[in-house]
């Protein structure tokens, strides 16, 4: 329940114009009876919690905000069975989530979006959109052609949070590094077609509008419903950092709850139509 959008919905359900039921993976495993039915007519998902909650794909839409399956869910299993149990849950999530009409329910393992590495993101954005992306190297350490002129970041290809130029290589023989873009970091939360900008610096209205349009295009290009995009702003120059399905910075914005409450349900149904 620590996922930012989920936490916002929990804290503001009375402000949302929808009948919303929130189910965590822990609750699904421990509190619900699963009575799914498969027939020639189709798949009927039935999650039942006592007499008070009946959730079915026949009368519910799904907004999936599962970003990953934590190992802690399986701590009560025998150690030898934990990996198998996790794979079984992921397989069931893929099956059951796909049976719902909704958003973020189409991946085999039940995660809300596919995780795309930084090099893949940069290649796609550089090819399709008019925005600068970082120069990077990924390969044997001895062939690294990037000059460590004080702006190199050493990281992992799926680490969307490390932009520190004080980082050091994590392996002796293999390295992934990139040149940190010039400029100030700006974070853009996208919910459907709407954007919320979070920045420590003041931005002109024209530049904010330009950033929102660009972020909307990037969000749509990667087929996300909810995302947080990092762009570095250097004067009039914009540099793409990454797109992340996890909301890390935007939930610190004082307008975050208001933005989500105003747009989440509206944009969900707009995307469904």
User: What DSSP string describes 191-237?
Assistant: ETTEEEEEESS---HHHHHHHHHHHHHHHHHTT-SEEEEEEEEETTE
Closest among 7, 17, 1 to 266, alpha carbons compared: 17
Average pLDDT over residues 184-191: 97
Average pLDDT over residues 168-177: 80
**Residue 33 pLDDT exceeds 70:** yes
- Residue 146 CA to residue 138 CA, distance in Å, equals 10
Check the CA dihedral 191-18-100-52 and report its sign. positive
**Residue 273 pLDDT exceeds 90:** no
pLDDT in tens, 58-94: 999 999 999 999 999 999 999 999 999 999 999 999 9
**Residue 167 pLDDT exceeds 80:** no
Average pLDDT over residues 194-201: 96
Average pLDDT over residues 115-129: 95
Reported as a pLDDT band with limits 50, 70 and 90, residue 29 is very high
Reported as a pLDDT band with limits 50, 70 and 90, residue 28 is very high
**pLDDT over 90, % of the chain:** 81
Reported as a pLDDT band with limits 50, 70 and 90, residue 184 is very high
- Residue 74 CA to residue 79 CA, distance in Å, equals 9
- Residue 77 CA to residue 215 CA, distance in Å, equals 43
Q: How many other C-beta atoms can be found within 10 angstroms of the C-beta atom of residue 84? A: 12
pLDDT score recorded for residue 17: 83
Least confident of 71-80, 105-114, 227-236, 249-258: 105-114
Average pLDDT, the chain: 93
pLDDT in tens, 141-154: 888 888 767 789 99
- Residue 267 CA to residue 226 CA, distance in Å, equals 10
pTM value > 0.75: yes
* Element spanning 122, H or E: helix 118-128
Least confident of 42-56, 157-171, 175-189, 237-251: 157-171
Contact 69, 86 (CB under 8 A): yes
Reported as a pLDDT band with limits 50, 70 and 90, residue 1 is low
Give me the domains of the chain, ranges plus CATH numbers: 22-59+68-103 (no CATH), 135-179 (no CATH), 184-272 (3.30.470.20)
Reported as a pLDDT band with limits 50, 70 and 90, residue 107 is confident
Return the structure tokens found at 256.
């975050």
């Amino acid at each position: 329940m620590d996922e930012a959008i989920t936490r916002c919905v929990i804290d503001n359900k009375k402000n949302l114009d929808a009948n919303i039921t929130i189910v965590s993976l822990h609750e699904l495993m421990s509190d619900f009876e699963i009575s799914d039915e498969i027939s020639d007519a189709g798949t009927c998902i039935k999650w039942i919690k006592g007499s008070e909650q009946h959730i079915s794909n026949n009368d519910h839409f799904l907004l999936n905000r599962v970003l990953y399956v934590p190992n802690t869910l399986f701590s009560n299993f025998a150690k030898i069975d934990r990996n198998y149990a996790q794979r079984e849950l992921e397989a069931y999530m893929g099956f059951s989530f796909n049976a719902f009409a909704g958003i973020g329910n189409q991946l085999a393992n039940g995660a809300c979006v596919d995780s795309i590495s930084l090099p893949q993101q940069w290649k796609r954005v550089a090819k399709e959109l008019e925005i600068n992306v970082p120069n990077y190297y990924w390969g044997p350490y001895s062939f690294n052609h990037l000059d460590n002129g004080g702006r190199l970041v050493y990281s992992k290809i799926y680490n969307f949070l490390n932009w520190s130029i004080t980082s050091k290589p994590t392996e002796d023989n293999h390295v992934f590094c990139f040149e940190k873009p010039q400029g100030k970091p700006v974070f853009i939360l996208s919910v459907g077609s709407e954007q919320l900008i979070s920045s420590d610096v003041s931005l002109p209205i024209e530049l904010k509008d330009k950033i929102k349009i660009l972020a909307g295009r990037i969000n749509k290009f990667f087929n996300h419903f909810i995302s947080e995009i990092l762009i570095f702003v250097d004067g009039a120059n914009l540099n793409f950092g990454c797109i992340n399905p996890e909301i890390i910075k935007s939930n610190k914005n004082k307008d975050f709850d208001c933005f989500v409450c105003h747009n989440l349900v509206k944009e969900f149904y707009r995307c469904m139509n």
